[in-house]
């Protein structure tokens, strides 16, 4: 049994990863600060689902609820640490009490458009926070990690599909710039402190427990409530939508690779190598939900890229990454989950 620290482990992707690690027989130390980007109760439910704890949670107030949650899930296989990755003392307490074999760093401020509104917050959390995690690893002798990067680092590339060898120093949003900065920091600590690193460039992740601010969840909610769907641009922008189960498969494969090799620094795309237009997405949601949408057309938004499209041959070659979930199947799973929640 290995012990893995998952930062952002109460979130959408993080909770799915924790669930898989637990099923594989490992111990998980989940670090999350339950910030106010969306209702903290969503993350509590994520944790209850990922740990398999069947309980009726009685909500009171945030501070009390998080304390009760920590007590409820504490066990030989799982520990919840409520901490902010920017605070070295909070990370030191978490790392100092555990013998951690590897870190999977998912905690971040996410989203292109909000990063334009508050770039300093994004720099503080995503760059300084990542550096604080790396320092905690260095001080406590943790030499293996995965770090979540993003397809947004590619900007508006004309060449498709996007390859890890492509130039990525022309970001068009602060969020993308912070993710590129994390990749550079990862290489710095690999070079100076022998911390083996895989930077995972995720491509538009969707599925059960998706954050409520992301397109598919937001569109399904609007459709359910009979509200017009806000569509930016002419509907031709394209995304490489990747089902969360395939993302977790990729992380597990990358984790095995980085643990099984020395002197590793790799940047790897985790996508599907298929794209869907925004208008195709809307029609697919209509079909999956069984309801026709009203559309509200607005101009393109600053920072939004025209398309994302992953070349996944490197991930396949390094650790056998081979996404299995087609978009219709993944969307059906999400809609089923949405209706049940």
Catalytic positions, please? 175
Q: What are phi and psi of 234, to 5 degrees?
A: -100, 10
| Long-range interactions of 138-141: CB distance < 8 A, separation 24+ | 138/189, 138/193, 138/195, 139/92, 139/95, 140/92, 140/95, 140/96, 140/100
Q: Measured between alpha carbons, how far is 12 from 1 in angstroms, rounded to an integer? A: 24
Distance of CA 232 to the CA centre of its chain: 23
Quick one: angle between helices 12-23 and 40-51, nearest 10?
20
Longest dimension (CA), the chain: 56
Helix (H, G, I), strand (E, B) or coil at 139: helix
Q: Measured between alpha carbons, how far is 206 from 210 in angstroms, rounded to an integer? A: 6
CB neighbours of residue 99 within 10 Å: 11
Q: What are phi and psi of 240, to 5 degrees?
A: -90, 90
Element (H, E) at 121: helix 119-122
Place of tokens 């599925």: 207
Whether residue 176 contacts residue 150, with contact meaning beta carbons closer than 8 Å, is answered with: yes
Whether residue 210 contacts residue 341, with contact meaning beta carbons closer than 8 Å, is answered with: no
What DSSP line would sit under 47-116, residue for residue? HHHHHT---------HHHHHHHHHHHH-SSSEEEEE--TT-HHHHHHHHHTS--SEEEE------HHHHH
Place of tokens 């550096």: 131
Q: Given CA atoms 184, 273, 254, 76 in this order, what sign does their dihedral have? A: positive
């Amino acid at each position: 049994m290995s012990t893995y620290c998952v930062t952002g482990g109460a979130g959408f992707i993080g909770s799915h990863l924790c669930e898989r690690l637990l099923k594989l027989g490992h111990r998980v130390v989940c670090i999350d600060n339950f910030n106010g980007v969306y209702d903290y109760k969503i993350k509590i439910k994520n944790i209850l689902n990922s740990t398999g704890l069947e309980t009726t949670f009685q909500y009171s107030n945030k501070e009390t609820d998080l304390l009760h949650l920590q007590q409820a899930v504490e066990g030989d296989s799982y520990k919840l640490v409520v901490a902010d990755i920017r605070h070295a003392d909070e990370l030191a307490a978490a790392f100092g009490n555990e013998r951690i074999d590897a870190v999977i760093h998912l905690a971040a401020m996410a989203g292109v458009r909000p990063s334009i509104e508050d770039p300093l917050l994004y720099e503080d959390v995503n760059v300084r926070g990542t550096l604080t995690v790396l320092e905690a690893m260095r001080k406590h002798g943790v030499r293996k990690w995965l770090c979540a990067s993003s397809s947004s680092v590619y900007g508006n590339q004309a060449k498709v599909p996007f390859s890890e060898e492509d130039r990525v120093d022309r970001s068009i949003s602060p969020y993308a710039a912070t993710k590129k900065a994390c990749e550079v920091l990862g290489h710095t600590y690999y070079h100076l402190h022998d911390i083996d690193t895989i930077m995972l460039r995720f491509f538009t992740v969707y599925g059960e427990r998706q954050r409520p601010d992301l397109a598919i969840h937001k569109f399904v909610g609007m459709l359910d409530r009979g509200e017009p769907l806000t569509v930016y641009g002419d509907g031709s922008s394209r995304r490489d939508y990747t089902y969360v189960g395939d993302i977790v498969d990729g992380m597990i494969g990358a984790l095995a690779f980085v643990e099984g090799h020395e002197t590793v620094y790799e940047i790897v795309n985790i996508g599907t190598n298929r794209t869907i237009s925004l208008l195709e997405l809307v029609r697919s949601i209509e079909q999956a939900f069984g309801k026709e949408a009203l559309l509200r057309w607005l101009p393109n938004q600053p920072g939004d890229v025209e398309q994302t499209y992953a070349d996944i041959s490197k991930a396949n070659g390094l650790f056998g990454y081979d996404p299995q979930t087609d978009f219709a199947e993944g969307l059906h799973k999400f809609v089923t989950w949405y209706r049940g929640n």
